[in-house]
Amino acid sequence: MSGASGRTVRDILVTGVTGFTGGALALELARQGHRVRGLVRSREGIDQLLEAGVEPRDGDIRDADAVARAAEGVERIYHIAAVFRSAGHPDSYYEDVNTGGIANVIEAARRHGVERVVHCSTMGVHGHLSEVPGDETSPFNPGDIYQETKLAGERIAAAAFQNDVCGAIVRPMGIYGPGDLRFLKLFRAIRRGRFVMVGSGETLYHFAYIDDLVEGFILAGEHPEAPGGTYLIGGDEFITLNELTRLIAEAVGARPPRWRVPVWPVMAAGALCEAACRPLGLEPPLHRRRVAFFTKDRAFSNAKAKRELGFQPRVDMREGIRRTARWYFDQGLLEGEPPSALRDSVTDD
């Protein structure tokens, strides 16, 4: 069936629709005219999805029967649901969600003959890179339980995609953009003049602006060359943390950060915080995974996605950071008024 635009209208299931990435993907698919279902554990905070026509299907990604019910009759599954990082969860929870979740999706796809599955992994499966830029063939080097369970889940997906299920794997870079709260603390600290760089600041990081990432997912779900493939999706540029903080400072109207501290005392403090908070089920104010942001190079080539899928990121880092900062100001998440340069320079697609 084709819509008014001539695009084939599909029945699609998106997991993780209450999260930043899954929600953005579901909204874009609905905007394109597809019939979209979203697997949800709770209907709280899904008004925007409902208004866009996304149909909620109640269920937990850990429940194989619930996933199978949600997948009945769909042609595509975009599996985005994951637990990211929180010290309040035991390792078994990461295993159940990040590894068991994709196993349930694969089994549902088999049962119902789903035409294609797109599995969301992470660039984090590569961990710290000894040579940059990395690519899809770079060695695996997961550094924490999140990355370990995402890699285990990716291997389940890859085995199925090489055997009896049609699908592709997407490894996003660091996801950001309007609607994201993950990097809000960084923007706030720089805005308030309280950011302290840990280490030299020359560590490399690679970002994926949300609109570009959503386009990458859709290409992985539709392009004839995608099945069986794995694709790193992100912008054309990777930057040092020093460059990143300067761009954020410019966007929020603050001075570029000048303070820095050595890595080792901060890492030691993170380990102590984790040890003290974990038995109490508390989120520590500092933990080693946050320190790793300042120490591990993560910079990749997106050439394979460009070559095979026609992927083309459209939002560069400066513009993406400005759009994100403007959204934070508009939502009252950053104090005060945005600088005049930000109001005048931000553009929309």
Task: Give catalytic residues, as residue numbers.
Answer: 146
DSSP code per residue over 93-112: HHIIIIIHHHHHHHHHHHHH
Residue 308 and residue 285 in contact, taking contact as beta carbons nearer than 8 Å: no
Question: Which segments of the chain are extended strands (E)?
Answer: 11-15, 35-40, 55-58, 76-79, 116-120, 167-172, 174-176, 197-198, 204-209, 230-233, 238-240, 260-261
CA 316/CA 313 separation, integer angstroms: 8
One-letter identity of residue 251: A
One-letter identity of residue 145: I
The answer to whether the bond into 133 is cis (omega within 30° of 0) is yes
| Residues 78, 80, 39: CA angle, nearest 5 degrees | 75
Q: In b/e form, how buried is each residue of 67-96, taking b as 16+ CB within 10 angstroms?
A: bbebbeebbbbbbbbbbebebebeeebbbb
Question: Which segments of 219-321 are extended strands (E)?
Answer: 230-233, 238-240, 260-261
Tokens describing residue 145:
């339980």
